[in-house]
Chains A and B, each alone.
Chain A
Amino acid sequence: MGRAAAPARGVEAAAAGAGSVVELTDLTVRFPRREQEALRDVSLQIAAGEQVVVLGASGSGKSTILHAVTGVVPHTVAAAVAGQVTVAGSATGETSVVERSRHLGVLAQDPSAAVCLPVVEQEIALPLENRGTDPAHIGGRIASALDSVGATGLRDLPTAHLSGGECQRVALAAALVAEPEVLLLDEPTSMLDPEGVAAVRDAVRSAVTRYRPAVILVEHRLDEWAGAEGVAGLPERVVVLVDGQVVADGPTSLVLQDQAAALRAAGCWLPLDAELGSLTGAQGGLASPANRALLHTLGRPTGTRSRPATGRPLLEASGLAVGRAPAPGRGGRRVDRRSAALLSGVDLTLREGEVVAVLGANGVGKSTLLLTLAGLLTPVAGRVLGDRPGLVFQNAEHQFLASTVEGEIAHGLTSDVTDARVLEQLRRHRLEHLVGQNPFRLSGGEQRRLSLAAMLAHPRPVLLTDEPTLGLDRRDAIATARTLRETADGGGAVLLVSHDLRLVAGLADRVVVLGDGAVLADGPTERVLADPVVLARASLTLPPLVSWLVANLPGRVAHVLQGLDATVTGRADGVA
């Protein structure tokens, strides 16, 4: 127990070579009503100023590590805990969550829950006031915290007016303002668009350079987080979790080299360089000849089925203008036509067998368009023809109606078809083991699968879906993409809104780009993604892989991307 006497400031401890600011010793965590331990015998030492990224598929225990460090597990969330967690010299058992917050800065996933007070500067003043900081210094520290996250202009704004990316930057400023020794980042970008990811990443970087806290980062979107520097842009140390156990811990480039194949097979997202390296053994990503050769091989024509170019039109919108008018109300309530249209002059036809992606910057009206096509908003002008489409919302929880997974899928089905349909959907979406569970208790990935299953149980010709893969691990994202493809191939049509251009390039037959209040482009996926003018006008940036494929393997982009996905799921249908 000599550690209890260690100096409170981790910097001094490290300078003296005395050890770590965060120390997990043989930590095992088991949540009630779960068979498997969430963490098993996890031991980690993190020194002051050290940067660590934790990798693992959904359910591997990444977030539980962070909760054990904050003390939320077991103080707030009940769990059986064995082993020891020590932060800045004090053990969790003896330290409340609030007391421990003196040493920690936390940034969580949900931007709207991260910002709690009505005005930005109050939000950032709060941690300082709570720590009893001299009021004379608070104003200046708010300014420098906001400056370090690039959000100086937001200081006097009401928090209700912030976008998701702005919320996360303000929350980060609040996490940093008291300069805690440890910064915990729990998938801070999982709900943000690419612009928001870049903003939060840059904010973390500049803050880290400013005063060197220890950082524990849990993140899916590693390429976007790393930015232009590739693997060098990631924290220098990586910890790999599989089923609650640490299977690797060491320098990022080395561990990624050793573990990439296992991580890829486990369904974990990897930086592109590591993903390609795991297939060829070659370093250097797209610059390496071996990796390029692999992509060329994957792009070689195989006996792929050809799709009928055009099927029967299932949903037709003509001269459509959409805006936030009230939903078609009961009793024929009059719709306010004065509300400004977000988009106008939209002509859009969805045909049998098609997957169509809608792209565009945040706030351009993508979700409003989906709601209008689904008949939930009255068009400001124009009309929509076709049978009633199904719509899967971004937040699956918003759509749940029943108290069990089974009931959720059976909802609205007539009794003669219920059993067969429910069984089929349970099997297709890997939900059989969860039949009796409450939908609200499922993990994020399971909730997504369930909401898709419940919608597909109904024979509706057109499926609309809003960001269907956001926040999913790679295995679930691939499974979702495959379901959407199968839905279209089975005689339906799918329209998806997504920011993930790799997904879109691998899945969609056609792309509709929105911008400046209208449709900027509507055409075959590759042709649109190869048009720099359209991309610039819609502020879209292609990921490096997609950009390379569009330039070097025209006509084979989707084929190559599906081949890479097949290496995760083991289905060899795309690999030569």
Chain B
Amino acid sequence: MRSVERSSPLARRNPSIKLGVLFLVSLVVMFVLDPVTPAVLYLLALVGVVLSSGAPVRTLALAHVPFLAFAAGVLVVNALSRPGAVLWQSGPLRVTEEGLSVGAALAFRTLLVGVLAVGFLLSTDGVALMTSLHHNAGLGARPTYAILAGYRMLQEMPREWSLIRAAHAVRGDRRKDGRPPGGPRHLGGVVFTLLVVSIRKGERVAQALESRGLGLEPRSTWRPVRVSTADWVFVAGVVLVVGVVLAASAQLGLLRGPGALFG
């Protein structure tokens, strides 16, 4: 299982607050379509995540790969397909100024949202997130505890999987080269058994949760996850940085909204 660096400044922030900030920033940059503003925001976010998440640079670099690939795709498609002032042409391929600009804006937006999501995931424990969503974001007790119980069943699944695979392998005939069976039929059987065994276990877990009174009202909450002053400072800090970057960009005449798409 992925381990979470629990002591970093970002890891100590309330998970619901982090999720909210991630959502807010993503929403704001949806309306920014010049390349420079999201690029600056991306660089600032990258520095912030590197400094505050405690995650190794190598991990962050690896986590960037899918976002980089997607960003490159977005850039190329826009550069080649948007109408506008032609910068370069060769046969049917032509690159326009507008295309390059919008493409770069979208690519940096992808990277920005990507780095924030990576920072969130690397600094947030799944259990803490569910608990926080329950306490701070009004997620009901039943879905919360159902997901937590499901998470625990998931933890056990790799062990069950290898047990069932072995249990089936010993039943089947060896293949001609003497190795145990491993084809799609074998795996299909293993998946089916795992499914049946898991469903039955799920029923038992559900009964156990009900027998502990999950669903009774009114509930109380032990050790509620609190939103601390530091969490609000974190929100204010992020809002301030984004605001300053947007204002500076507007001041310099660089900031462009959705109009860039049609202009």
Which residues of A are interface residues toward B (Cβ below 8 A)?
70, 72, 76, 97-99, 101-102, 104-106, 108, 110, 112-119, 122, 125-135, 138-139, 159-160, 171, 174-175, 178, 327-330, 371, 374-377, 388, 390-391, 393, 395, 397-401, 411-412, 440, 454-455
**A71 to B, closest residue via Cβ:** B210
Whether the Cβ atoms of A328 and B180 lie closer than 8 Å is yes
Question: What is the 8 Å Cβ interface bit string for chain B, positions 200-232, against chain A (1 contact, 0 not)?
Answer: 110011011111111111111111100000000
Whether the Cβ atoms of A130 and B215 lie closer than 8 Å is yes
**B204 to A, closest residue via Cβ:** A113
A390 to B166, CA, bound (A): 12
Expressed in whole angstroms, the minimum distance between the Cβ of A450 and any Cβ of chain B is 12
Whether the Cβ atoms of B193 and A98 lie closer than 8 Å is no
Whether the Cβ atoms of A128 and B222 lie closer than 8 Å is yes
* 23 CB < 8 A contacts A-B: A70-B207, A76-B207, A97-B207, A98-B213, A101-B213, A106-B211, A108-B208, A117-B145, A117-B152, A118-B152, A129-B219, A130-B212, A130-B214, A132-B216, A138-B220, A138-B223, A159-B152, A328-B180, A376-B166, A388-B174, A393-B166, A395-B163, A399-B170
A129 to B155, CA, bound (A): 25
Question: What is the 8 Å Cβ interface bit string for chain B, positions 4-26, against chain A (1 contact, 0 not)?
Answer: 00000000000000000000000
Q: Assess whether B69 is interfacial by the CB under 8 Å rule.
A: no
Contact residues in A for B256 (Cβ distance below 8 Å):
none
Q: Assess whether B171 is interfacial by the CB under 8 Å rule.
A: yes
**A114 to B, closest residue via Cβ:** B208
Whether the Cβ atoms of B170 and A376 lie closer than 8 Å is yes
Expressed in whole angstroms, the minimum distance between the Cβ of A398 and any Cβ of chain B is 4
Residue from A110, A115, A398, A399 within 8 A of B201 (CB atoms): A110
Which chain B residues (120-134) contact chain A, with CB distance < 8 Å?
A: 127
Whether the Cβ atoms of B152 and A171 lie closer than 8 Å is no
Sorted nearest first, the 3 A-B pairs with minimum C-beta distance are A130-B213, A113-B204, A106-B211
A116 to B203, CA, bound (A): 12
Q: Assess whether B189 is interfacial by the CB under 8 Å rule.
A: yes
Residue from A116, A133, A376 within 8 A of B180 (CB atoms): A376
A278 to B214, CA, bound (A): 46
A175 to B148, CA, bound (A): 19
Whether the Cβ atoms of B156 and A112 lie closer than 8 Å is yes
Contact residues in B for A114 (Cβ distance below 8 Å):
208
Whether the Cβ atoms of B207 and A129 lie closer than 8 Å is no
Q: Assess whether B167 is interfacial by the CB under 8 Å rule.
A: yes
**What number of B residues sit within 8 Å (CB to CB) of A?**
52
Residue from A139, A171, A397 within 8 A of B193 (CB atoms): A397
Contact residues in A for B167 (Cβ distance below 8 Å):
391, 393, 398-399
Whether the Cβ atoms of B148 and A98 lie closer than 8 Å is no
Supposing A110-B204, A117-B145, A327-B180 touch, asked if A174 and B212 sit within 8 A by C-beta, the answer is yes
A102 to B218, CA, bound (A): 12
Q: Assess whether B165 is interfacial by the CB under 8 Å rule.
A: yes
A105 to B212, CA, bound (A): 7
Q: Assess whether B248 is interfacial by the CB under 8 Å rule.
A: no
A106 to B201, CA, bound (A): 16
A104 to B205, CA, bound (A): 16
Whether the Cβ atoms of B155 and A160 lie closer than 8 Å is yes
Whether the Cβ atoms of A330 and B223 lie closer than 8 Å is no
Expressed in whole angstroms, the minimum distance between the Cβ of A168 and any Cβ of chain B is 12
**A375 to B, closest residue via Cβ:** B180
Supposing A129-B220, A160-B156, A375-B180 touch, asked if A116 and B163 sit within 8 A by C-beta, the answer is no
Residue from B164, B207, B213, B216 within 8 A of A108 (CB atoms): B207
Contact residues in A for B224 (Cβ distance below 8 Å):
135
A390 to B172, CA, bound (A): 10
A105 to B211, CA, bound (A): 7
Contact residues in A for B168 (Cβ distance below 8 Å):
399, 401
Expressed in whole angstroms, the minimum distance between the Cβ of B25 and any Cβ of chain A is 29
Contact residues in B for A112 (Cβ distance below 8 Å):
156, 201
Residue from A132, A374, A390 within 8 A of B219 (CB atoms): A132
Expressed in whole angstroms, the minimum distance between the Cβ of A103 and any Cβ of chain B is 10
**B148 to A, closest residue via Cβ:** A117
A112 to B200, CA, bound (A): 12
Contact residues in B for A399 (Cβ distance below 8 Å):
167-168, 170-171
Contact residues in A for B73 (Cβ distance below 8 Å):
none
Extra contacts, 20 of them, besides A126-B145, A327-B165 (Cβ < 8 A), are A70-B207, A102-B213, A116-B149, A118-B152, A126-B212, A129-B222, A132-B216, A135-B222, A139-B222, A174-B212, A327-B166, A327-B180, A329-B182, A371-B166, A391-B167, A391-B170, A398-B160, A401-B171, A401-B193, A455-B171
A396 to B216, CA, bound (A): 36
Whether the Cβ atoms of A411 and B171 lie closer than 8 Å is yes
Contact residues in B for A131 (Cβ distance below 8 Å):
213, 216
Expressed in whole angstroms, the minimum distance between the Cβ of A365 and any Cβ of chain B is 15
Whether the Cβ atoms of A113 and B162 lie closer than 8 Å is no
Contact residues in A for B215 (Cβ distance below 8 Å):
98, 130
Whether the Cβ atoms of B216 and A70 lie closer than 8 Å is no
Residue from B174, B201, B213 within 8 A of A113 (CB atoms): B201
Residue from A135, A159, A398, A412 within 8 A of B197 (CB atoms): A398
Q: Assess whether B85 is interfacial by the CB under 8 Å rule.
A: no
Contact residues in A for B166 (Cβ distance below 8 Å):
327, 371, 374, 376-377, 393
Residue from B127, B197, B210 within 8 A of A101 (CB atoms): B210
Contact residues in B for A391 (Cβ distance below 8 Å):
167, 170
Contact residues in A for B141 (Cβ distance below 8 Å):
130
A132 to B163, CA, bound (A): 41
Give the one of A102, A108, A330, A398 with max B CB within 10 A. Answer: A398
Give the one of A102, A115, A128, A129 with max B CB within 10 A. Answer: A129
Q: Assess whether B65 is interfacial by the CB under 8 Å rule.
A: no
Contact residues in B for A377 (Cβ distance below 8 Å):
166
Supposing A116-B149, A327-B165, A327-B169 touch, asked if A127 and B223 sit within 8 A by C-beta, the answer is no
Contact residues in B for A97 (Cβ distance below 8 Å):
207, 210-211
Contact residues in A for B179 (Cβ distance below 8 Å):
328, 330
Supposing A113-B201, A127-B213, A393-B163 touch, asked if A160 and B193 sit within 8 A by C-beta, the answer is no
Q: Assess whether B196 is interfacial by the CB under 8 Å rule.
A: yes
**B224 to A, closest residue via Cβ:** A135
